[in-house]
Structure 1
Amino acid sequence: MIVNVNKYMRRKILKLAWPVVLEMFWIMVVNVSVTAMVGKFGAVALAAVGLSAMVQFSSAMVFAAVGTGAASIVARESGAGNWEDVRLVAGQAVLLGLVLGSLLAISGYFIAPALFILTGAEPEVAGLGSALLKIGFIFTPFFLVFSIGNAVLRGLGQTKTAFYISSASNTFALLLSFMLINGYLLPGIGPYGAAWGTGVSQLIGGIAVLVVLSFNGKIKLNWHKVFSIRAAVLKRIVAISVPAGLEQLALQGGRVAYTFMLAKAGAIQFAAHQIAVQVESISFMPGFGFSVAAMTLVGQYIGKGLPHRSAQYAWLTNKIAILSMTAMGVVFFLFAERLTALFISDTDVIYWGSMLVMIAAFEQPTIAITYVLGGALRGAGDTKWPMYVTITGVWLFRMPLIYLFVVVWNYDLTAAWYITVGDFFLRSIILWWRFASNKWQDSVKTKSELISN
């Protein structure tokens, strides 16, 4: 009987995870393809497109954390069968995304040149990059609606629907970018085509997710209620979203600082680092997929009043993720040189890149734990602890040590990657302790608090 139960649970986990993995894979394919198209215009265009995308994505993801709060509540309320609460949360989350996205779009548009000055980019790169960044910021409200709406669908367990919307949007981005960059059927505008192609696809994705939420059998957004501010609902969303947003701020800020520090290691090592990141990103796909599965299942079973089953799902998801990502780590270690050589032919870059990929192999199990147990805690509404852990690992451990070893003591980039292995090990240990303590159950509430007359 236990075997049958575990088999059923595994199926449920994998059913939620695989669409997310495919979604992440297709996003990667589209990004790599657009980057390759821009590459023919030279290093300046490539750097400008890459930096503008990084700045916009990093700033938007802080506010997209509203989706984390909404998904966590939606998972619990849908598990409890409180469908009116689900509608209220989904609607208010969309409204919040529109407001925050509009504010970010307006402010970002005007401060785009200043943001590029902060990156330290060369004047030619900064000029083109700030123009591309302005285009990107125009579409921020739609990007946030798209991200938040898809998060709500995942909270409902409808990861397939989210995958279909995301894949359609990104496929459109690929096609439109190709036509605008190369002048095929449309006027050719070079690197600007990447910004407009991506932006218009976000507009379409945002509209598509609103249509789906409006006609979804379990939600059917009431637009009158969407634009009626519900203070209690917004307060509950914000209470969970703010720590998640601060976590994203710590992550994205760390990513930018990390990139700037590693750039000091020289062109060859930094190129090797960029390629190693691309190789390792393959393993992040199952990690994120299992994180979503854990968040959804933990939230839904808390809503059903079964926190012990939530814990069972979290630990089983954790086990599957560790096994999957450890297997990927073995592949990284054994085929590091071949994987690196797929991206470049320079022997020096391949040498350094393969070393970094081999180091990355050792952090795969702890990345799995960090993703899954972090997702499980978010599903329970305990978003503060993932925030604490991220700030501790990234800013109190990784950043100071990398600064000392790479910037001050001039060690090569292998030191930075070994430190990153230690960062994920530290974070995984703390998250394991937190989830195993069951203290996340202390604040669990299974009854509806949102319905108002």
Structure 2
Amino acid sequence: MNITDNKFEKTPIEEHSQVTMQTIFKLSWPVMIGMILQSLLNTVDTYFISNLGVNQAAAAGIANSITGVIFVISTLVSAGTIALVSRSYGENDYLKVKRYSGNSIALAGLIGISLGILCYLNAISIIEKIFSPSEIVGNFAYEYISIIFLGTVFVFLNSALRTIIQSLGDTMTPLIIFGFSNIINILLDYIFIFQMNMGIQGAAIATVISNLFSFIAAIVIVLIKIYEKNIILFIANLKIHFETTSRIFRIGGWACLQQVARPITGMLMFSLVYEVGQAEGSAAFNIGSQLFNYTFIVLIGLSTGISIMVGQSLGRGNIHQCDKIIKEGLKIAFINVLIFSLPYVIFPSYMMRIFIKDPAVISYGVSYLRIIYMGIVFVVFTTTYGGVFQGAGDTFPPMLASIVANVVFKLPLAYILAKSFNLELNGVWYSIALSVFIEAIIILFYFKTNRWKVFKI
């Protein structure tokens, strides 16, 4: 598809007058498959590192909780990009598509480089001040995270590039690019960790190399799809304009706060888990978190598809079609949550034994999966309605819901239940489940006001 042509490939929302679950799936399933591949990558990483030992597994959990906070800042650019590019594409304003895309890429690169350097120089301080781990766990965590920070810029650029391509209604190309990237990562994991005996550092190097590959592939696709294979045209749009940047930040700022709130509290929760459950509890938390990624495969893919379809529909002024999208999206989300209740509630011990044989880790992990799934049911509303707000560019309500649920509610409750009520790790798990319920109630309230239907970006 050439962005300057008068005739364009139709997206699923344009091909059907009636929105059905099949319509949404046609746009969302490549995102879901991409999530499966990413989850498999995380699972394989966790499996390889867990086989190195409990200390390495705990160290990877510490590192992942830190990078989770840093890398999610990429939402500052990508959230604004998906709203602006998808709506401009729906309006057939392709000059804006070029301008917004170039600005987003330049902005993502600048922020990624700056954060990467800052975090690399302060990696030891970040680990020690937040987690205070044992010397051996701390050393493993530094070995891993210091390398990961060197590739921060590629994480930010990939986030922006993926969003730009998806905003055009093309969710298949990012699947192919990042799918191959994940395969490369898994192969390099095995080679570097076991064949070359590089240990936990090998996993980090494999991740950086795979991110570099996906960046090169994605930038080529954007050059072809949006800038007609014209490098000069691409460079001409690769500028940070004040007005465009302020619009991206205005939309992405709230979304970024929402996304950052969860991993920041997650990082602090991990610190509490380490304090209460030591390495065994931390390992269970890390493995359990990786397992829950599979629950969110359909939900995140669905949310992305909804945001694109809502953004394009609003660009065409078709509010009625948005309502149909949301109704069918909720059906898909509920079915997904029901299916995943089986392995995590009925067979949690078998799930944990895939990764580790330590009895204490398995025991902590079983309670983690069963308790938290009580809250996961309500993620149906946060992901579905969150996608609606994202596509509309109205990112304040999801941010407020996330801040209240995760910062104001979850973290203090976890400390109270774990220490004052002596529930230890189960207290942490209960606080996480309850926070999801609180977040769903808040976002549902804002959705019912219908402000997203008239929001101006």
What is the TM-score when the length of structure 1 is the normalising length?
Answer: 0.89
Which residue pairs with 1:325 in the alignment? 337
Contact 2:128 2:138 in 1 (8 A): yes
Q: Quick check: 1:87 aligned with 2:91? A: no
1:189 to 198, 207, 223: 198
Considering only aligned residues, what root-mean-square deviation do their CA atoms show, in Å? 2.5
Question: Could you say what secondary structure the match of 2:372 adopts?
Answer: helix
C-alpha displacement of 1:349: 4.6
The AA in structure 2 aligned to 1:181 is: I
Contact 1:74 1:152 in 2 (8 A): yes
C-alpha displacement of 1:251: 1.2
Q: Quick check: 1:282 aligned with 2:294? A: yes
Equivalent positions of 1:75-224 (< 5 A) are 75-118=86-129, 119-183=131-195, 188-216=197-225, 222-224=233-235
Which residue pairs with 2:419 in the alignment? 407
C-alpha displacement of 1:282: 1.7
Q: Quick check: 1:384 aligned with 2:399? A: no
Question: Could you say what secondary structure the match of 1:266 adopts?
Answer: helix
Q: Quick check: 1:311 aligned with 2:323? A: yes
Tell me, in whole angstroms, the C-alpha distance in 1 between the residues paired with 2:144 and 2:346.
40
Tell me, in whole angstroms, the C-alpha distance in 1 between the residues paired with 2:83 and 2:267.
28
Contact 1:264 1:407 in 2 (8 A): no
Cα distance, 1:419–1:129 mapped onto 2, change above 3 Å: closer
Question: Could you say what secondary structure the match of 1:444 adopts?
Answer: coil
C-alpha displacement of 1:87: 1.3
C-alpha displacement of 1:212: 0.6
Contact 1:88 1:225 in 2 (8 A): no
Tell me, in whole angstroms, the C-alpha distance in 2 between the residues paired with 1:426 and 1:56.
26
Q: Deviations over 1:260-304 (max 9, x none)?
A: 112333255555444433333221111111111111111110111
Tell me, in whole angstroms, the C-alpha distance in 2 between the residues paired with 1:262 and 1:104.
27
Gaps of 5+ in 2: 1-14
The AA in structure 2 aligned to 1:101 is: G
The AA in structure 2 aligned to 1:430 is: I
Tell me, in whole angstroms, the C-alpha distance in 1 between the residues paired with 2:283 and 2:143.
25
1:298 to 303, 310, 335: 310
Tell me, in whole angstroms, the C-alpha distance in 2 between the residues paired with 1:416 and 1:128.
25
Q: Deviations over 1:360-392 (max 9, x none)?
A: 333233111111111210110011111111000
Question: Could you say what secondary structure the match of 1:63 adopts?
Answer: helix
Gaps of 5+ in 1: 446-453
Contact 1:294 1:314 in 2 (8 A): yes
Which has the larger displacement, 259-268 or 376-385?
Answer: 259-268
Cα distance, 1:127–1:23 mapped onto 2, change above 3 Å: same
Q: Deviations over 1:246-270 (max 9, x none)?
A: 1122111111011111233325555
Which residue pairs with 2:29 in the alignment? 18
Question: Could you say what secondary structure the match of 2:20 adopts?
Answer: helix
Contact 2:50 2:56 in 1 (8 A): yes
Cα distance, 1:5–1:172 mapped onto 2, change above 3 Å: closer
Tell me, in whole angstroms, the C-alpha distance in 2 between the residues paired with 1:209 and 1:371.
26
Contact 1:250 1:391 in 2 (8 A): yes
Contact 1:328 1:364 in 2 (8 A): no
Cα distance, 1:214–1:231 mapped onto 2, change above 3 Å: same
Q: Quick check: 1:31 aligned with 2:39? A: no
2:255 to 222, 244, 248: 244
The AA in structure 2 aligned to 1:89 is: Y
C-alpha displacement of 1:157: 2.1
Contact 2:47 2:355 in 1 (8 A): no
Cα distance, 1:151–1:5 mapped onto 2, change above 3 Å: closer
The AA in structure 2 aligned to 1:32 is: T
Question: Could you say what secondary structure the match of 1:363 adopts?
Answer: helix
C-alpha displacement of 1:400: 1.1
Cα distance, 1:43–1:189 mapped onto 2, change above 3 Å: same
Which residue pairs with 1:70 in the alignment? 81
Which has the larger displacement, 296-305 or 348-357?
Answer: 348-357
Which residue pairs with 2:406 in the alignment? 394
Tell me, in whole angstroms, the C-alpha distance in 2 between the residues paired with 1:269 and 1:121.
13
Equivalent positions of 1:355-374 (< 5 A) are 355-374=367-386
Which residue pairs with 1:451 in the alignment? none
1:59 to 63, 67, 70: 70
Q: Deviations over 1:74-107 (max 9, x none)?
A: 1111111111111111111000011111111221
Tell me, in whole angstroms, the C-alpha distance in 1 between the residues paired with 2:228 and 2:341.
40
C-alpha displacement of 1:347: 5.0
C-alpha displacement of 1:228: 3.2
Which residue pairs with 1:441 in the alignment? 453
The AA in structure 1 aligned to 2:203 is: A
Q: Deviations over 1:202-236 (max 9, x none)?
A: 11111111111000168767323233332221121
Q: Identity rate of aligned residues, in percent?
A: 25
Contact 2:254 2:395 in 1 (8 A): yes
Contact 1:322 1:369 in 2 (8 A): no
Tell me, in whole angstroms, the C-alpha distance in 2 between the residues paired with 1:50 and 1:419.
20
Cα distance, 1:105–1:265 mapped onto 2, change above 3 Å: closer
Q: How many residues align?
A: 439
Tell me, in whole angstroms, the C-alpha distance in 2 between the residues paired with 1:364 and 1:252.
16
Tell me, in whole angstroms, the C-alpha distance in 2 between the residues paired with 1:20 and 1:369.
19
Contact 2:303 2:386 in 1 (8 A): yes
Which residue pairs with 1:449 in the alignment? none
Tell me, in whole angstroms, the C-alpha distance in 1 between the residues paired with 2:284 and 2:193.
27
Q: Quick check: 1:257 aligned with 2:258? A: no
Q: Quick check: 1:430 aligned with 2:439? A: no
